């Protein structure tokens, strides 16, 4: 389960996604990229599904 944190960078809202509290390389992005992710969410889900299936077959 992802850990979600909200913060600011130079006065702009940022969201941070972590795998754990000790995650050394969290994934962070602002509002513009969040909107882009939402626009592409179906393609991202399809990408994950296709690649999980491929990985499980190996």
Q: So what's the pLDDT on residue 53?
A: 78
Q: So what's the pLDDT on residue 57?
A: 66
Looking at the structure of the chain, the number of domains it has is 1
pTM over 0.75: yes
Per-residue pLDDT of the chain (58 residues; tens, 9 = 90+): 899 999 999 999 999 999 999 999 999 999 999 999 999 999 999 999 999 977 666 6
Residue 40: C-alpha distances to residues 7, 25, 35 (Å): 24, 23, 9
Separation CA 41–CA 44 (nearest Å): 5
Domain hosting 26: range is 3-57
The residue count of the chain comes to 58
Q: So what's the pLDDT on residue 11?
A: 97
């Amino acid at each position: 389960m992802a850990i979600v944190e909200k913060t600011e960078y130079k006065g702009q809202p940022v969201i941070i996604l972590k795998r754990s509290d000790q995650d050394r390389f969290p994934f962070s992005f602002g509002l513009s990229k969040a909107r882009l992710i939402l626009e592409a969410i179906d393609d991202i889900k399809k990408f994950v599904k296709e690649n999980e299936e491929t990985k499980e077959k190996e």
